[in-house]
Structures are given as C-alpha cells and as structure tokens.
Amino acid sequence: MPDPLPPTALSSRQDGILMDAACVTLAGRVVLDHISLTLTEERIGILGRNGSGKTTLLRLITGLIAPDSGIVRIEGIDPFTNRKAALGALGILFQNPDHQILFPTVEEELAFGLVQQGQPQAKALALAQEALAAEGRAHWAKVPVSTLSQGQRHYLCLLAVLLMQPRTILLDEPLAGLDLPTQARLARRFAALPQRLVTITHDPATLATADRVLWLEGGRIAADGPPGSVLPAFTAAMARIGERDADADLAG
C-alpha cells in the first residue's frame, strides 16, 4: 500500500517539471541542446545510451547545475537558485551509493537531510531511528556505513531520500550493478512509492511500466511517448548501432 502524501503536496506537484529551450555546454561540447518539455506523469522514464546527456539532464532537473541558457522549473520554482524549496520538491537517488553517502554511520546519514530541512539534530536522529525501526532495521542505527553491502547502501540512500519526503524522486540507473533479488526488491519498492518518479537509464527493460518515455540522443529528445512505441524503436536502433562497431568513434 502506498503511503498517502500530505494533501498540500498534491496541488503544487501538478505543475510538474518544466524546461524551455534549456542548453548545457560542458568543456566546449554541447551536452544538452534546446531541451523543452513538460513532465506531469507519475512514472517517467528518460532513456539514452552513454554520453547521450541523460546524466546532465538529471543534474539540471535536480538543480545541481544551472542551464547556460533556457529555463528549468520544478513546481514553478528554479531548482538551482531556490535550493530550500527544491529540497521539498525533489529528491535524487544517485547511481552509486558511495557518491551519495556523506556520513560515517547510518543514523547520521539519515538525520542529515532532516537537519537540512530545519529539524533540530536530536529530533532528526530520533526520526531517523524511528524510520529504521519502521523498516525493521532498528539495529542499523549505529552501524558504520562502510560495513553495509552494496544493496544495503542503496537501500540506505533510498531511505535517506524518502525521509525528506520529496514530491518527486529522480532515480539514476536505480538497478544497475545489483543482484537479481535486490533488483526485484527495489523495483517493488519503487512501484509502491506515492511520489512521482523520473527514472534515468540506458536499459529499456526498466521502463516497461512507465507512463511516458523520453529517448535522449546527442543532447536532444529523439522520441517521446508511451513505452509501447518508444522502447521497441530504441532497442532496434541500439542493435543497429551495435552492429556498426561505432565504438571506435571518438566523441567531439
């Protein structure tokens, strides 16, 4: 059963994610080229191969970087300049949990986001312990994160994001590098979340149940539609590229 979101969350969430002619240039290379889109669906997939610009798109949506030109708005706010509001609107689950975990113990990691949202330290720690107990993992609280397995660290990152109760969560290759039982468990967990999910991946199989899929290629949107039409086209194109041995080409 999905947890209900607070009612105030629902109205602002309807504004969704909006981009208008957003461009990003990194080290002289155009990585995102005039991206315009409005995302209001509940389950959104962004599909692309390595170097297509999908990670940059994710950073742009989360407000980790600003566009060189164009506009990015989450629920009507600018996620790069208005960090405080962006935190409540948007959470991000990084591909590699080791790039996300900042604190030595599980409870400190969980409490950090809450302190950032204005909770006092003691209250944040109590809430973190409560959340762990609710997940049947109360014994994790004092454990050093370095002793957790890869799957457990992924799980910790998800829990840390959920504790901050964002209305939209961005998932960067959420299932990559995990064993099959862990993948199945996480996928089930994602499916049950009440939040809007934006999944960024190179793996079409992950997006079969999405409401809408965008295919990113060379910094532009190559296709946009329901998974039934976008996924087969993407798979066929990838197979063609694979046959051409295009790996020898250098970017740039």
Partner 1 sequence: MLTLTSPVEIWAHRLPAGGKLAALAVATMGLFALDTPPTLALAGVGTVALYASGGVRFASGGLRLLRPLWPFLLIVGLWHLWTADLSGGGVILLRMLTAVALANFVTMTTRLSDMIAVFQTLARPLGTLGLSPRRFAIALALVVRFIPVMLERLTQITQSWRARSPRRPGWRVLVPATLAALDDADRAAEALRARGGAD
Interface pattern 36-75 for partner 1 (x via CB under 8 A): -----------------------x--xxx-----------
In whole angstroms, give the CA distance from residue 107 to residue 143. Answer: 8
Phi, psi of 141, rounded to the nearest 5 degrees: -45, -50
Q: Which helix (H) or strand (E) holds 128?
A: helix 121-134
CB nearer partner 1, residue 20 or residue 55: 55
Q: What would the x/- binding string for partner 1 be over residues 102 to 141, using CB under 8 A?
A: xxx---x---xx--xx------------------------
Instruction: Kindly identify the residues of this chain, within the stretch 164-193, that bind partner 1 according to CB under 8 A.
Output: 164
The one-letter code for the residue type at 176 is A
CB 146, min distance to partner 1, A: 4
- And the tokens for 195? 């939040």
Q: Does 101 bind partner 1 (CB under 8 A)?
A: yes
Identify the three-state secondary structure at position 50. Answer: coil
Which 80-99 residues touch partner 1, going by CB under 8 A? 83-84, 87, 91-92, 94, 98-99
Q: Which residues neighbour 23 within 8 Å (Cβ) at sequence distance 6 or greater?
A: 30, 32, 33, 34, 35, 67, 68, 69, 70
153 lies in the binding site for partner 1 (CB under 8 A): no
Dist CA 171 CA 142 (whole Å):
27
Interacting residues with partner 1 (CB under 8 A): 59, 62-64, 83-84, 87, 91-92, 94, 98-104, 108, 112-113, 116-117, 144-146, 160, 164
